[in-house]
Each structure stands twice: as structure tokens, then as C-alpha cells.
Chains A and B, each alone.
Chain A
Amino acid sequence: MAVITVERKPLTLLERTYLPQIVGGLATTFKHLIAPKKTLEYPEQRPAIPPGYRGVPTLVRDPNGREKCVSCQLCEFVCPPKAIRITPGEISADQTDRAHVEKAPLAFDIDMLRCIYCGLCQEVCPEEAIFLQNQYSMSGYTRAEMVNHKDKLYELGGTLPDQHYKWDKKKTAEEHGNAH
């Protein structure tokens, strides 16, 4: 590769006085002085969350309003900082709308002081029940407040569109006589 020698010109007298540069700098800063502000005033103005953002992990319901989590505990096992604690529970037979749902968590706690927002729980979940959504701000006065219990997790998660309707399919299959 050819070497290009850059000629370093000595500074002119005007440049050595440093004054044109100062005036140029003042012009630049004055432009910024009157330019529209680039910052957000946080609590009132919130940043736009890009798609695919990994916020606070939440539990979601299916469009029928049923919990999707079947307490398989895969997320609990995969969670690197061990932030998730699940107590599995049965679904009693008298809940007819959930008749074909296999199981549900009795308790589901995510300790947000441990969570590292890695998203492995979302990745591992076979039921697509846990999602890291747009919520990015968690605060509390005590350690206990920073543990998200089941109710809070469902409240944060809401309902997401479902592509599979697994339990409806299972119900249809059973009605047609092939349980599995």
C-alpha cells in the first residue's frame, strides 16, 4: 500500500491567535442554546420501548382468560440467579372452564432483586406463559416489596395473543375420542 505523506501545514497567524476558533465555538454553542431540547423529562415523558425489549418478567393469560403457566418449573431450573420460586398446584375438578388445563402454579414468585433480565425463562417456557415485556422500572421501599407474587405477575403480564390454543385443541381432540 502506498504511503501518503500528509503535509502538516504550520498554523497561520490568525489560527495561532485562537480567536476564529473561539468565535466558531461560540456560534456552535449558541446554536445548541436555542435548539430544541433532546432530553426526555422522565416521569411525564417515557421513552419509546423498542420491540424485543427485555423488561420485567411477567406471566400472561391466554385469550380465554386462563393462566397459561402449568408450573413445569423449567424456568425455575434454568434461571441463572435463581430468582424464580414456583409452588406447583393442581386444578380442582369444579373449575369447568379450566377442565383441560393440566396444572397451574399455586404460588409463583420472582425476586426482582435477583433477576438479571436475561430472558432465559421466556426462552425455555414450553407453554409461552412467561414473557419479558416493556415494564422497565421497579422500585420499592423494602426487600419484600421487590418480590413479584403471582397476582402481580399476571397483572403486569395481561393477555397476549395466542397462536396455538393448546387447551382448546386438547378439548376438541378428547371430544373426538382421541385423548392424546
Chain B
Amino acid sequence: MFDFFFQLHPVIQGLAKGLAVIMVIFPIAGACSMAERKVAAWIQDRPGPNRAIVPWVAWIPFVGKFLQRLGIFHVMADGGKMLFKEDSLPGHVNKFYFILAPIVAMVPALTTITAVPFGAYFDSAGKVITLGLAPLDIGMLAVFAVSSLGVYSAILAGWASNSKYPFLGSVRASAQLISYELSMALSVLPVFLWVNAPGLPGTMSFGRVVEFQSLPGFFGGMWFGFLMPLSAFIFLVALFAETNRQPFDTVESEADLVGSFHTEYGAFKWGLFFVAEYSHMIVGSGVFMLLFGGGWNPLPWVSLATAVDWLGTILPFAHAPLFVGVLSIAIFLGKTLAMIFLFMWVRWTLPRFRYDQVMKIGWQKMLPLSIANLLFYAIAIAIIQK
């Protein structure tokens, strides 16, 4: 059944795989906006959106009601509204860049996914094959390089809007991104120092990082989040800042900037900014889980291979590559969604930092901390791996 697929031209194969991933990411990004509303409501002791329903789903006795209460159909209602309402183009904007900005927002958000593996299976020789669009050897670098392009959309949108609040918002966005990019990059270096042991070919790929978290033994099975908690913490804080999420939400702060760089936007273009933001969150959460959360290993000290062996005692088909692949993707997706929930949970817990506090935390706290962290682990790893 798969021979047909593997006989296709590589370009068509790549296109099909890319489309498949986008078809998954796009709805998840949409569903995240819904989940955001639901989590917000639950934390505020409200039931949240629970009214919209498609008639023929309402006829399903129990499931229909459940889906309605879960607010699933509000996603479609919101999306439909966003798609069909008038897409206004204000008269005072620079039209070309104004339209370009949401597209520029989407491109890096979806491009980063190519470098992120999301599962693995074992071939007949027991070798781990990672599932991903492009198993790049420069994985982490590619994600850093492309995801930071996202700020161009904010700058373009803010500048093209030709209005002061969007412009201030875009200036803040770029300053914030630069401030936290540094500590983010420095915080992941210990992981790659550890992974690139002497004697092995050097790599920045996520596959190797996960491989190192699935080794046997106490330190081998330990996820990097436990081994390098400070790195994980700095990366997480920087991730919140990079994705412009609360408490680093100064870019969008409604109180002082109206709506920041998307003040002048509406309808579908506005929606694209949000899908891009959620895609960034999904990719960011995925990268965090790959680096510090064990990737597709179900539990600390329980690697995917061990879990499959356990399952093999119950299920006869547990060792089939297809089953292992789907299982690993499910585990990884579950972890990523748990991270997304953390994003939302934090959003409804913490108030927004003031802009000067954001800058102070970024430059005076996170950056020295990440440099000290790097030095500590560099020395420690040099001693251990000598």
C-alpha cells in the first residue's frame, strides 16, 4: 500500500507530506484559539462558548451534545465569519506592504515545521528513523533562523499601517525578539554540547537530541529538562517572550497600544496573524519538548523502544513501523498540546509585565543567567566527557 507513495517523484512526495502537515497544523492552530477561549472561561469559573451546533451533528444522541458543550463548532463559526466578512483596506495604509505583512507572518510560522521532527519508527534493523518533513542536520539552527523572520511581519504590519499605535507595537516586537533571542540561543547550547560528544559527527539535529534522551541508564534516560533545569527554564521564558505570550504580551497590550500591529487589520488578514502566532506556539512547544521534554519518549526513563516492547507483550502488531510511527506522533502531539495548555494557563494567571520590566528581565537577568549557565555546563561537560 505504501509502495505506490514511495514510487512517486520526490518533489510530489515532499508536497504531499508538506500538505499533510499543514492540514494538521492549520486546524490545530484554529482549535487552539478555541481552546484559549475555553481555558479562559474555565479559569474564570464560566462554562465558555457552548452554543453553536450543526443540525445533523445535533441528531447524534450523546456525542452531539458533548461536542456542542465543548464548543467545537464555534471554531467553524469564527473561521467562517473571519473568511466571509468584509476585508477592509483602510485608505491611509501602504497597500502593498499592508497585504504582504500577514503573508510574511504565515510563511516562517509554517516553514519552521519542516525542520521539526514529530515522531520516529524503527526499521527492520532496529535503527531509529525520525519522521519529519526535512530531517535536516542543522535542525535547531534552521528553526532559529526562520522563526525569527516572523518579526518582519510585525514590523511590516506596523509600518504599513501608517498609524502610531501599530508602529509602536512593531518597534516593541522587534526589540523584545532581539532581547530574548540571545538568551534563548545560549540556553540550548549546553544541550548540543552534551549531544555532540567527542568522536561522533557534529550535528544540530533534533533526532540526535531525542536519541540522547532515550538511552538506557539513569542519566541516559533522564530528559534534558531534569539534567539542565536552568536551560529549560530560560528557554521556556524566552519562548514566552518570542511568541509574544503573556506575561510578555507588551507587544499586543490593549491597554496602551489599542491592538498593536494588527490594530488596522480585520477579517481574514487579522485571522492570519493569529494562526501564525499559534503556529509559532505549536512549533515552539514542539521544540521545547524535543530539547527538554524527551521528544516522543512517553515518560522519563521509559523510551519509545521500551514502551513498544511492553506493548508488544499485549498487542501483536506493536512492532509494526506504522503503529510505532503513529504512537510516537501521538505521544509527541500530546506533549506539545500539554505545553500549549501551559501557555494558556500562564496567560490567565500572570499579569502583563511593563515594557521596561520586559527589557530589564531580558538583558539584566536572563542574559547573564544564560551565559553563566552555558559556562557551567561547558566546564561540566568538558570534565565528564574528557
Binding site for B on A (CB under 8 A): 22, 25-26, 28-30, 32-39, 41
- Give bound CA distance, A34 to B345, whole Å: 12
Top 9 nearest A-B pairs (CB, nearest first) are A38-B45, A25-B349, A29-B349, A33-B42, A29-B43, A39-B46, A37-B47, A33-B43, A32-B43
Q: Which of B46, B47, B345 meets A29, CB within 8 Å? A: B345
B267-302 contacts to A, CB under 8 A, are none
The interface bits of chain B over 37-56 (1 if a CB of A lies within 8 angstroms of the residue's CB, else 0) are 00100111111001000000
User: If A22-B350, A25-B350 touch, does A30 touch B45 (CB 8 Å cutoff)?
Assistant: no
Closest to A31 in B: B43
Q: Which residues of B contact A33 (CB under 8 A)?
A: 39, 42-43, 345
B348 in the interface, Cβ–Cβ < 8 Å? yes
- In-complex Cβ contact of A35 among B45, B346, B348, B350 (8 A): B45
Name B's interface SS: loop
- Asked whether, in the complex, the Cβ of B345 is within 8 Å of the Cβ of A32, the reply is no
Interfacial chain B residues near A37, Cβ < 8 Å: 42, 45-47
Closest to B44 in A: A32
Beta-carbon nearest neighbor of A40 in chain B: B47
Encoded as 1 (CB less than 8 Å from any A CB) or 0, chain B from 329 to 348 comes to 00000000000000001101
Give chain A nearest CB distance to B240 CB in angstroms.
11
Q: Which residue of A lies closest to B46 (CB)?
A: A39
A-B contact list, 27 entries, CB within 8 Å: A22-B346, A22-B349, A25-B350, A26-B345, A26-B346, A28-B349, A29-B43, A29-B345, A29-B348, A30-B345, A32-B42, A32-B43, A33-B39, A33-B42, A33-B43, A33-B345, A34-B42, A35-B45, A37-B45, A37-B46, A37-B47, A38-B45, A38-B46, A39-B45, A39-B47, A41-B47, A41-B50
B247 (CB) vs chain A CBs: closest residue: A22
- In this complex, how many residues of chain B approach chain A with their Cβ under 8 Å: the count is 13
**Cα distance A15–B77 in the bound complex, in angstroms:** 45
Set of chain B residues within 8 Å of A30, measured between Cβ atoms: 345
Give the A-binding residues of B (Cβ under 8 A). Answer: 39, 42-47, 50, 345-346, 348-350
Q: Given the complex of chains A and B, what is the CA–CA distance between A36 and B42 in angstroms?
A: 9
Q: Which residues of B sit under 8 angstroms from A34, Cβ to Cβ?
A: 42
Query: What residues of chain B lie closer than 8 Å to A39, measured between beta carbons?
Result: 45-47
A35→B43 CA distance, assembly (Å)? 9
CB distance from A22 to the nearest CB of B (A): 6
In the bound complex, CA of A35 to CA of B50 (Å): 18
- Residue numbers in B under 8 Å from A38 (CB-CB): 45-46
Chain A residue contacts of B45, Cβ below 8 A = 32, 35-39
Minimum CB distance partner of B361 in chain A: A18
> In chain A, what residue has the closest Cβ to B42?
A33
Give Cα A29 to B42, complex, Å: 9
What chain A residues lie within 8 Å of B46 (beta carbons)? 37-39
- B350: chain A residues at CB < 8 Å are 22, 25
CB-defined contacts of B42 to chain A, threshold 8 Å: 32-34, 37
Shortest Cβ distance from residue A145 to the other chain B in the assembled complex, whole angstroms: 25
Q: Which residues of B contact A41 (CB under 8 A)?
A: 47, 50
Among A32, A35, A36, chain B packs the most CB atoms within 10 A around the CB of A32
List 10 additional A-B contacts (Cβ < 8 Å) besides A22-B349, A29-B348, A38-B46: A26-B345, A26-B349, A28-B349, A29-B345, A33-B43, A36-B45, A37-B45, A38-B45, A39-B45, A39-B47
Q: How far is B345's CA from A56's CA once the two chains are assembled, in angstroms?
A: 43
B341: nearest chain-A partner, CB-CB: A33
Residue of A nearest to B351 (CB): A25
- Chain B minimum-CB-distance residue to A21: B350
Cα A28 to Cα B39 in complex, Å, equals 14
- The residue on A at minimum CB distance from B39 is A33
Whole-angstrom distance between the alpha carbons of A36 and B45 in the complex?
7
Cα-based distance from A123 to B109 in the complex (angstroms): 67
Q: Please indicate the chain A residues that have their CB under 8 angstroms from the CB of B349 in the complex.
A: 22, 25-26, 28-29
Task: State the Cβ distance, A162 to closest chain B Cβ, in Å.
Answer: 44
With A and B bound together, what is the CA distance between A169 and B110 in angstroms?
86
Closest to B51 in A: A41
Residue of B with least CB distance to A30: B345
